[in-house]
């Protein structure tokens, strides 16, 4: 095995334990004397708690304790919001881990039962009597902003959590006044429920004698959990060990540190015993964060030739009843700053209103702000194409940012790193056979069949850092990553890394990075992550940053090792360091490759240290901290082909072709897997998924019977292609790929359906594009005509 | 009320007294500690809890332990033999048919059922046969590849 | 999820099951469990005891005497879907059974448990009504047979009394020139029928001699589409005729009864039901011809 494994689609290192049932997720872990917690959650979206009677529950079989908000008062602080969005009038309502006197969404915790078994804990929940005085609820963000809307928090006027704006480039008013063409649309980015297959869980184990607490948690970022938990639950960071064991997917829903996590910690501390809480799926629907939930009023100004001159938008973003950990940054920084998309847009203005509503808190969900931005831009570009009678391809080409290798400024203030947007589109059109598809579409229309083609050309921001920017945008943490790389005497390697992958496959790609840098076999590299006692600080796996930032830290650590090894090799070969060369795990004197030392030879010598160069420390180990100089900006072009049945409104996704550019691919098989999964989640938004509340705040899609997730039998095989444009500022040139598919695909599928509906004169349909919605849109259009 | 049950799992017989309400999946996971079988929903939708009950697939979250009294069960832990992984485990690994791994035990056992009923499935038949198993990571495509691979079929499957 | 406590008794025979039902007030029959257990887990029901009939072998199997097919209540959806006898003589039933839930559900779920639950979104009630099934119920006074319109009494309600047990269903074999089919609009999450349509037709020299069309999913209990049937009988069957007749399905749907939900409203279901009726009729005609 050699450096060539960097870039090859080797099998994953993590799979043997996963395919045999040997892996341990949080709910699989059992400790001696472990108790079980169950949360009593509010059945009302908005109500005063008049009284709670826990006596019968406390007396029930197997019950050890019942706690309410009175018990946790002063013991655990409110669950924190950790993204203090500046210049936005941000108002953070206290998110009590157990509600004190008012509940504000269906799922707000009212009490916790701790019992000897999970069955007994749930039995006891039924015995707690709560007297609620129901209050009016508001569930829709724009209605929450309206005058006379029910108010969630006494101290927060108009339910407004923040008002954030982005303005860039020329005068937006002038741009619209002078435009030849203006197209407008109102879009509802419906609420989505992430549905990681593993629901959330926490297992807290407190040792009174030492004051130490270990928390196993279904999280994407154990170090953030440790930091926030130390602040909220009163366990000092040095006594608190957070372990993210096997984690069954996150998609953003395992970023937040939740009230139930803090309550579980509280119970363990209080009882001096291990306490496990594991969510049911129904509970997950109510209690684990949701995504999206925007109402967007958008407009685009252009010349009659299709050159965009301005983009203006107002967004009402539903935040739920409280602000989740990272929530304020999602519909603002990660959304508004990306409104230029892949286009040269000279003037942009957006207002974003964050609104409290009587719903489950909204957080990052795969793509987090960027799908909502891409959708806006890609929808507007298609509307412009229709308005001026150009093919959507042509309008895109007239507005693309030209190819660039080392930085391009857009008016929102970002500097994209590198891109060739027309290159990706050209490859897509070629691979898909776009011209022929258009011909087939025309022929099908002649026969009364309705085929639609939808494009989405996107760029996204990921690899979140730099930390200086994090500070400037109010993110209450850093955005660097660190890695420790350690050679053992036998030449085997441990990597301890702060990032916390949970399905993405970095145990493999990180091993490939080490292999590429140091010429070892990936099989000889064990990647250790997810345990705050055994890994250096890390800021988490989200925002497609793990390979981009953590991988860079690891590559830099490997390069430090290489530098040290070269010094040792020179000493052992009795040569000058300047005369040493390195190739594929071997160090040799220039011109004499036969006389060499392998990295394993040097690892052994460094560990036994019998013969080290003067002044060189024993051991072969390096630590690196990588704080990126800029974000990375993957991009691509996607095409969806759909057919609709106008009689019933059914949409069939016939074909999906993707071209993505995430820079050099460390493991193309893993990249492809990320693209597949990402695209399907975006298709889910377009066609099936929607979290629906009734006007009283009851969640109508609260089980997997009601909330439609993508299934195998409703999807075509996706055709995946790529281009490769390295990031100029990244040590490996790599970008991110975790969210790209989701960011692109919703708009592609939506545009395809609207294209199919074009003969009927349909203007817009809300997502998801259910048969009824599509059918009604046709009926309404026919009624108009 | 407790009822004695005798259930053979992966070739080993377990005799226990259980509450009638105990779900088979909780018997497997919590009583016996075989945690490879997962619980992903509470409405029989996700398939994470799929096991082989007398050789055919069943959702162990929708079966009481008392109903399985006397039965022989295979869970993911029992699929590999001393000689190595089951071909489906190999193919899921080879074709990158899993990411977070949570749905994987159920997905592999559902695939086992699929190939039992149809040893040479087309892609469409594979997709149809996996309709009761949800995966949020892979978009299913590499799972379809893995099943096709395990069936020894070429790209595109049987026609 | 975690069901509340209940007692459990296993019956070795139908007679024993009835005795147990009688001896334990507030008890419920457990067959495959695929309708009952989800309800228990969500704590939507809390019976004092379950009477498990799942091991009564006499209630299992599909057999025909040459004119009547008897299907035991414990016969699974998978067994029905795979039955060559049914595929030949009552094709709509295996077609529908093969679309219930998913393979693992079909391996455990039973026809008896399914129809005893009488979920309007279930597939089998409409099919069994279309095929003119008789439901065999055993009680203190012995066996009685109930036709579909009498069996399905409304939302989640059947003719099975508290101390009675549904032991099976009986169907007539399709005669020469007769065939049936099932066409379903499945909910994308639950897989239940948003609209489920069963059709049985008789053809002679291209002329429709008999027709029975039943819709489910959008109504509390299966509804016969008489207007569709009348438009077909006595006519030479063509694609156009089927389409035209199917459009009359709305005549048989009482707006006050129609079910709708957040996914598909009653109005939309009614307006698009004809497409599924047409699908079932077209398939049945193709098989009959």
Residues 253-282 of C with CB under 8 A from A: 262-265, 268, 271-272, 275
Most A CBs within 10 Å, among C1, C102, C122, C189, to test the A interface? C189
Q: How far is A450 from chain C (nearest CA, A)?
A: 17
Residue B158 lies inside a defined structural domain of this protein = no
Q: Is the pLDDT of residue B159 over 70?
A: no
DSSP A276-319: EEE--HHHHHHHS-BEEEEEEEEEEEE-TTS-EEEEEEEEEEEE
Q: How far is CA A57 from CA A107, A302, A586, C56, in A?
A: 19, 65, 68, 40
Q: Is the pLDDT of residue C180 over 60?
A: yes
Residues in chain A: 785
A229-275 pLDDT tens trace? 999 999 999 999 999 999 999 999 999 999 999 999 999 999 999 99
* Residues B94 and B35 both lie in one domain: no
The strand pair at A650-661 and A718-722 is best described as parallel
Residues B28/B14, Cβ–Cβ less than 8 Å = no
Q: Which of B46, B78, B110 is the endpoint of a domain? A: B78
Q: Which residues of A touch C185 (CB under 8 A)?
A: 648, 771
Most A CBs within 10 Å, among B23, B84, B107, B141, to test the A interface? B141
Residue B17 lies inside a defined structural domain of this protein = yes
**What is the predicted pLDDT for the residue at C188?**
97
Q: Environment class of residue C270 by beta-carbon count within 10 Å: exposed (0-12), middle (13-18) or buried (19+)? A: buried
Residues in chain B: 159
Q: How far is CA A9 from CA A1, A310, A500, A658, A768, in A?
A: 13, 43, 21, 19, 35
Query: How far apart are the C-alpha atoms of A337 and A85, rounded to whole Å?
Result: 14
Residue B157 lies inside a defined structural domain of this protein = no
Q: How confident is the model at residue A301 (pLDDT cuts 50, 70, 90)?
A: very high
Residue B95 lies inside a defined structural domain of this protein = yes
DSSP A229-270: HHHHH---GGGEEEE--B----TTTTTSPPHHHHHHHHHHHH
Where in chain A do CATH 3.30.365.10 domains reside?
3-20+480-626, 363-462+631-784
Burial C31-42 (b: 16+ CB within 10 A, else e): bbbbbbbbbbbb
Pairs across B and C, CB distance < 8 A: 86
Q: How far is B84 from chain A (nearest CA, A)?
A: 11
Q: Is the pLDDT of residue C148 over 60?
A: yes
Q: Taking all residues of chain A, what is their mean pLDDT, rounded to a whole number? A: 97
Q: How far is B124 from chain A (nearest CA, A)?
A: 7
* Residues B7 and B46 both lie in one domain: yes
- A1 versus B53: the higher-pLDDT residue is B53
Q: How far is CA B15 from CA A526, B6, B76, C6, in A?
A: 40, 4, 20, 21
Q: Which residues of C touch A712 (CB under 8 A)?
A: none
Where in chain A do CATH 3.90.1170.50 domains reside?
31-135+197-249+254-287
Query: How far apart are the C-alpha atoms of A46 and B114, rounded to whole Å?
Result: 47
**What is the predicted pLDDT for the residue at C1?**
83
* Residues B107 and B143 both lie in one domain: yes
Name the strand (E) or helix (H) holding B18: strand B12-18
Residue A344 tokens, joined: 């040269």
Query: How far apart are the C-alpha atoms of A532 and A554, rounded to whole Å?
Result: 17
Q: Which residues of A touch B108 (CB under 8 A)?
A: 19
Query: How far apart are the C-alpha atoms of B113 and C105, rounded to whole Å?
Result: 12
Q: What is the dihedral of CA B33, B36, B41, B42, to 10 degrees?
A: -40
C212-266 pLDDT tens trace? 999 999 999 999 999 999 999 999 999 999 999 999 999 999 999 999 999 999 9
Q: How far is A689 from chain C (nearest CA, A)?
A: 9
Residue B159 lies inside a defined structural domain of this protein = no
Q: Verify whether the Cβ–Cβ distance C107 to B50 is below 8 Å.
A: no
Q: Which residues of C touch B114 (CB under 8 A)?
A: 103
- Residue C156 makes CB contacts below 8 A (sequence gap 6+) with C117, C118, C119
Averaged pLDDT for residues B72-98? 96
* Residues B21 and B71 both lie in one domain: yes
- Chain A contact for B122 (CB, 8 A cutoff): no
- Chain B contact for C263 (CB, 8 A cutoff): no
SS3 track for chain C? CCCCCCEEEECCCHHHHHHHHHHCCCEEEECCCCCHHHHHHCCCCCCCEEEECCCCHHHCCEEECCCEEEEECCCEHHHHHHCHHHHHHCCHHHHHHCCCCCHHHHHHCEHHHHHHHCCCCCCHHHHHHHCCCEEEEEECCEEEEEEHHHHEEECCEECCCCCCEEEEEEEECCCCCEEEEEEEEECCCCCCEEEEEEEEEEEECCEEEEEEEEEECCCCCCEECHHHHHHHCCCECCHHHHHHHHHHHHHHCCCCCCCCCCCCCHHHHHHHHHHHHHHHHHHHHHHHC
Query: How far apart are the C-alpha atoms of A129 and A60, rounded to whole Å?
Result: 13
Residue C261 tokens, joined: 């939900």
Q: Which of A676, A641, A684 is nearest to A660 (CA)?
A: A676
Question: What CATH number is attached to the domain comprising B139?
Answer: 1.10.150.120
A662-688 pLDDT tens trace? 999 999 999 999 999 999 999 999 999
List the single residue in A23, A27, A712 with the smallest CB-CB distance to B101. Answer: A23
Q: Which chains touch A (3 or more CB pairs under 8 A)?
A: B, C
* Residues B18 and B69 both lie in one domain: yes
**What is the predicted pLDDT for the residue at A4?**
64
- Chain A contact for B146 (CB, 8 A cutoff): no
Q: Which residues of C touch B59 (CB under 8 A)?
A: 104-105, 108
Minimal Cα distance from C276: which residue of A?
A: A648
List the single residue in B20, B44, B133 with the smallest CB-CB distance to C50. Answer: B20
CATH topology of domain A363-462+631-784: Aldehyde Oxidoreductase; domain 4 (3.30.365)
Q: How confident is the model at residue C195 (pLDDT cuts 50, 70, 90)?
A: very high
Q: What angle do CA A338, A344, A346 make, to 5 degrees?
A: 90
Residues A506/A553, Cβ–Cβ less than 8 Å = no
A464-517 pLDDT tens trace? 989 999 999 999 999 999 999 999 999 999 999 999 999 999 999 999 999 999
Query: How far apart are the C-alpha atoms of A454 and A642, rounded to whole Å?
Result: 8
**What is the predicted pLDDT for the residue at A242?**
98
Residue B156 lies inside a defined structural domain of this protein = no
Q: Verify whether the Cβ–Cβ distance A21 to B143 is below 8 Å.
A: no
Rounded to a whole number, what is the distance in angstroms from the first to the last CA of chain A? Answer: 67
Averaged pLDDT for residues A341-363? 98
* Residues B70 and B92 both lie in one domain: no
Averaged pLDDT for residues A309-331? 98
**What is the predicted pLDDT for the residue at B156?**
45
* Residues B72 and B92 both lie in one domain: no
Residues C188/A684, Cβ–Cβ less than 8 Å = no
* Residues B70 and B91 both lie in one domain: no
**What is the predicted pLDDT for the residue at B153?**
57
In chain C the domains, ranked by start, together with CATH numbers, are: 7-52 (3.30.43.10), 63-172 (3.30.465.10), 178-288 (3.30.390.50)
Averaged pLDDT for residues B112-119? 96
State whether CATH 3.40.50.300 applies to domain A31-135+197-249+254-287. no
Residue B47 lies inside a defined structural domain of this protein = yes
Query: How far apart are the C-alpha atoms of C105 and C122, rounded to whole Å?
Result: 13
**What is the predicted pLDDT for the residue at C155?**
83
* Residues B91 and B69 both lie in one domain: no
Report percent pLDDT > 70 for chain A: 99
Q: Which of B78, B101, B134 is the endpoint of a domain? A: B78
Q: How far is CA A261 from CA A112, A117, A287, A501, in A?
A: 12, 19, 12, 20
Minimal Cα distance from A247: which residue of B?
A: B100
- Chain B contact for C102 (CB, 8 A cutoff): yes
The reported pTM is 0.97
Q: Which residues of C touch B53 (CB under 8 A)?
A: 107-108
Q: Is the pLDDT of residue A1 over 70?
A: no
* Residues B135 and B92 both lie in one domain: yes
Q: Verify whether the Cβ–Cβ distance B100 to A20 is below 8 Å.
A: no
The total number of structural domains that make up chain B: 2
Q: Is the pLDDT of residue A534 over 90?
A: yes
List the single residue in B46, B124, B142 with the smallest CB-CB distance to A704. Answer: B46
Residues in chain C: 289
Name the strand (E) or helix (H) holding A125: helix A118-125
Q: Which domain covers residue B91, as residue numbers?
A: 87-150
Minimal Cα distance from A278: which residue of C?
A: C1
- Residue A694 makes CB contacts below 8 A (sequence gap 6+) with A139, A700
**What is the predicted pLDDT for the residue at C120?**
84
* Residues B72 and B126 both lie in one domain: no
**What is the predicted pLDDT for the residue at B158?**
41
List the single residue in B1, B66, B132 with the smallest CB-CB distance to C104. Answer: B132
Query: How far apart are the C-alpha atoms of A449 and A447, rounded to whole Å?
Result: 6
Q: Top-level CATH class of A3-20+480-626?
A: alpha beta
Q: How far is CA A46 from CA A79, A99, A108, A693, in A?
A: 19, 11, 10, 13
List the single residue in A647, A708, A711 with the smallest CB-CB distance to C275. Answer: A647
Q: How far is A258 from chain B (nearest CA, A)?
A: 20
Report percent pLDDT > 90 for chain A: 98
Q: What angle do CA A292, A295, A301 make, to 5 degrees?
A: 115
Name the strand (E) or helix (H) holding A444: helix A434-446
The strand pair at C27-30 and C49-52 is best described as parallel
Query: How far apart are the C-alpha atoms of A689 and A701, rounded to whole Å?
Result: 10
* Residues B99 and B143 both lie in one domain: yes
A404-463 pLDDT tens trace? 999 999 999 999 999 999 999 999 999 999 999 999 999 999 999 999 999 999 999 999
Q: Which residues of C touch B118 (CB under 8 A)?
A: none
- Residue A702 makes CB contacts below 8 A (sequence gap 6+) with A282, A285, A286
Q: Verify whether the Cβ–Cβ distance A700 to C262 is below 8 Å.
A: yes
Residue B21 lies inside a defined structural domain of this protein = yes
- Chain B contact for C175 (CB, 8 A cutoff): no
Query: Is cis: bond before C123, omega within 30 of 0?
Result: no
Helices marked H in A492-550: 506-518
Q: Give the dihedral sign, CA B59/B62/B65/B67.
A: negative
Question: What CATH number is attached to the domain comprising B73?
Answer: 3.10.20.30
A609-659 pLDDT tens trace? 999 999 999 999 999 999 999 999 999 999 999 999 999 999 999 999 999
């Amino acid at each position: 095995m050699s450096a060539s494994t960097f870039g090859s689609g080797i099998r994953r290192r993590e799979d043997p334990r996963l395919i045999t049932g040997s892996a341990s997720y949080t709910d699989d872990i059992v400790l001696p004397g472990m108790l079980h917690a169950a949360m009593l959650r509010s059945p009302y979206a908005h109500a005063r708690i008049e009284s709670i009677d826990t006596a019968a529950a406390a007396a029930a079989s197997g019950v050890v304790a019942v706690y309410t908000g009175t018990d946790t008062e002063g013991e655990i602080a409110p669950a924190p919001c950790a993204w203090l969005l500046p210049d936005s009038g941000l108002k953070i309502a206290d998110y009590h881990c157990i509600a004190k006197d008012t509940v504000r969404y269906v799922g707000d915790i009212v009490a916790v039962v701790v019992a000897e078994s999970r069955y007994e804990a749930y039995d006891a929940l039924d015995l707690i009597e709560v007297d609620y005085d129901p209050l009016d609820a508001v569930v829709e963000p724009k209605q929450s902003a309206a005058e006379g809307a029910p108010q969630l928090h006494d101290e927060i006027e108009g339910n407004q959590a923040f008002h954030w704006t982005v303005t860039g480039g020329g005068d937006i008013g002038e741009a619209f006044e002078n435009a030849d063409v203006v197209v407008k649309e109102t879009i509802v980015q419906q609420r989505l429920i992430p549905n990681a297959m593993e629901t959330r869980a926490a297992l807290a184990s407190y040792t009174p004698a030492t004051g130490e607490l270990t928390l196993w948690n279904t999280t994407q970022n154990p170090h953030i959990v440790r930091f926030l938990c130390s602040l909220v639950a009163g366990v000092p960071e040095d006594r608190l060990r957070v372990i993210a064991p096997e984690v069954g997917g996150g998609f953003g829903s395992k970023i937040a540190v939740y009230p139930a996590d803090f309550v579980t910690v509280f119970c363990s501390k209080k009882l001096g015993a291990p306490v496990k809480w594991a969510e049911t799926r129904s509970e997950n629907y109510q209690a684990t964060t949701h995504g999206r939930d925007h109402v967007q009023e958008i407009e685009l100004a252009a010349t009659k030739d299709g050159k965009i001159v301005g983009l203006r938008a107002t967004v009402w973003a539903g935040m739920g009843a409280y602000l989740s950990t990272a929530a304020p940054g999602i519909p603002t920084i990660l959304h508004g700053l990306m409104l230029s998309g892949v286009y040269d847009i000279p003037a942009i203005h957006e207002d974003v209103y964050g609104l409290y509503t009587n719903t489950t808190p909204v957080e990052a969900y795969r793509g987090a702000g960027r799908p909502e931005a891409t959708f806006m831009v890609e929808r507007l570009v298609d509307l412009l194409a229709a308005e001026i009678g150009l093919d959507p391809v042509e309008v895109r080409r007239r507005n693309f940012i030209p190819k660039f290798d080392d930085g391009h400024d857009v008016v929102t203030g970002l500097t994209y790193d590198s891109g060739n947007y027309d290159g990706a589109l050209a490859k897509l059109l070629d691979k898909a056979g776009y011209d022929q598809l258009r011909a087939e579409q025309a022929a099908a229309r002649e026969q009364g069949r309705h085929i639609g083609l939808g494009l989405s050309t996107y760029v996204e921001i990921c690899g979140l850092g730099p930390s200086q920017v994090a500070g400037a945008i109010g993110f209450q943490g850093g955005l660097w990553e660190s890695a420790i790389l350690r050679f053992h005497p036998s030449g085997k390697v441990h990597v301890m890394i702060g990032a916390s992958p949970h399905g993405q496959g970095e145990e493999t790609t990180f091993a490939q990075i080490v292999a590429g840098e140091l010429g070892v076999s990936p099989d000889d590299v064990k990647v250790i992550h997810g345990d705050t006692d055994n890994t250096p600080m890390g800021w988490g796996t989200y925002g497609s940053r793990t390979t981009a930032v953590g991988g860079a830290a690891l590559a830099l650590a490997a390069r430090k090792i290489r530098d040290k090894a070269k010094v040792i090799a020179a000493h052992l070969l009795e040569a000058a360091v300047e005369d040493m060369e390195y190739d594929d795990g071997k160090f040799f004197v220039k011109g004499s490759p036969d006389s060499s030392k392998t990295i394993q030879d040097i690892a052994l010598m460094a560990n036994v240290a019998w013969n080290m160069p003067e002044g060189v420390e024993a051991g072969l180990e390096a630590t690196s901290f990588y704080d990126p100089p800029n974000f990375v900006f993957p991009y691509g072009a996607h095409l969806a082909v759909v057919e609709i049945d106008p009689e019933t409104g059914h949409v069939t996704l016939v074909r999906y072709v993707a071209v993505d550019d995430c820079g050099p691919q460390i493991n193309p098989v893993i990249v492809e897997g990320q693209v597949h999964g990402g695209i399907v989640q975006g298709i889910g938004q377009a066609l099936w998924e929607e979290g629906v509340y009734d006007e009283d705040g009851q969640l109508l899609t609260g089980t997997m019977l009601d909330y439609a997730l993508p299934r195998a039998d409703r999807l075509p095989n996706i055709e995946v292609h790529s281009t490769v444009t390295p990031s100029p500022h990244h040590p490996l040139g790599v970008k991110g790929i975790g969210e790209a598919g989701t960011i692109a695909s919703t708009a592609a599928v939506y545009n395809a359906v609207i294209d199919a509906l074009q003969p009927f004169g349909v203007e817009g349909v809300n997502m998801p594009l259910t048969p009824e919605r599509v059918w009604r849109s046709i009926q309404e259009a026919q009624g108009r005509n | 009320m407790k009822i004695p049950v005798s259930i053979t799992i992966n070739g080993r017989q377990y005799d226990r007294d259980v509450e009638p309400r105990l779900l088979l999946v909780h018997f497997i996971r919590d009583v016996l500690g075989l945690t490879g079988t997962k619980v992903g929903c509470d409405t029989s939708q996700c398939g994470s809890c799929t096991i082989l009950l007398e050789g055919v697939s069943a959702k162990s979250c929708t079966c009481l332990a008392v109903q399985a009294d006397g039965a022989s069960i295979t869970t993911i832990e029992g699929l590999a033999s001393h000689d190595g992984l089951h071909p489906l485990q190999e193919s899921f690994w080879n074709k990158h048919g899993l990411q977070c791994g949570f749905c994987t035990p159920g997905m592999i056992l559902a695939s086992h059922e699929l190939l039992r009923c149809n040893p040479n499935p087309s892609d469409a038949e594979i997709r149809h046969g996996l309709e009761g198993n949800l995966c949020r990571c892979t978009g299913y495509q590499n799972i379809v590849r893995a099943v096709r691979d395990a069936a020894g079929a070429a790209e595109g499957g049987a026609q | 999820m975690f069901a509340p406590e209940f007692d459990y008794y296993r019956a070795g025979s139908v007679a024993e099951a009835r005795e147990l039902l009688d001896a334990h007030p507030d008890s419920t029959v457990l067959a495959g469990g695929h309708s009952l257990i989800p309800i228990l887990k969500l704590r939507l029901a809390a019976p004092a005891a379950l009477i498990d009939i799942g091991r009564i072998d006499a209630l299992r199997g599909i057999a025909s005497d040459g004119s009547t097919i008897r299907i035991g209540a414990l016969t699974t959806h998978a067994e029905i879907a795979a039955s060559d006898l049914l595929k030949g003589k009552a094709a709509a039933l295996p077609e529908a059974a093969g679309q219930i839930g998913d393979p693992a559900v079909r391996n455990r779920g039973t026809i008896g448990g399914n129809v005893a639950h009488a979920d309007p979104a279930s597939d089998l009630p409409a099919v069994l009504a279309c095929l003119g099934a008789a439901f065999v119920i055993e009680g203190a006074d012995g066996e009685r047979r109930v036709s579909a319109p009498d069996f399905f009494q409304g939302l989640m309600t059947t003719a099975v009394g508290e101390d009675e047990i549904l032991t099976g269903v009986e169907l007539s074999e399709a005669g020469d020139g007769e065939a049936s089919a099932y066409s379903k609009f499945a909910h994308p999450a639950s897989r239940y029928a948003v609209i489920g349509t069963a059709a049985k037709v008789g053809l002679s020299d291209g002329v429709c001699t008999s027709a029975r069309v039943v819709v489910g999913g959008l109504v509390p209990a299966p509804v016969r589409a008489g207007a569709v049937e009348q438009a077909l009988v006595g006519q030479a069957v063509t694609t156009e005729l089927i389409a035209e007749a199917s459009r009359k399905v709305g005549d048989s749907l009482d707006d006050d009864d129609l079910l709708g939900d957040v996914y598909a409203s009653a109005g939309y279901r009614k307006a698009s039901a004809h497409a599924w009726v047409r699908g079932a009729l077209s398939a049945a005609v193709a098989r009959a011809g």
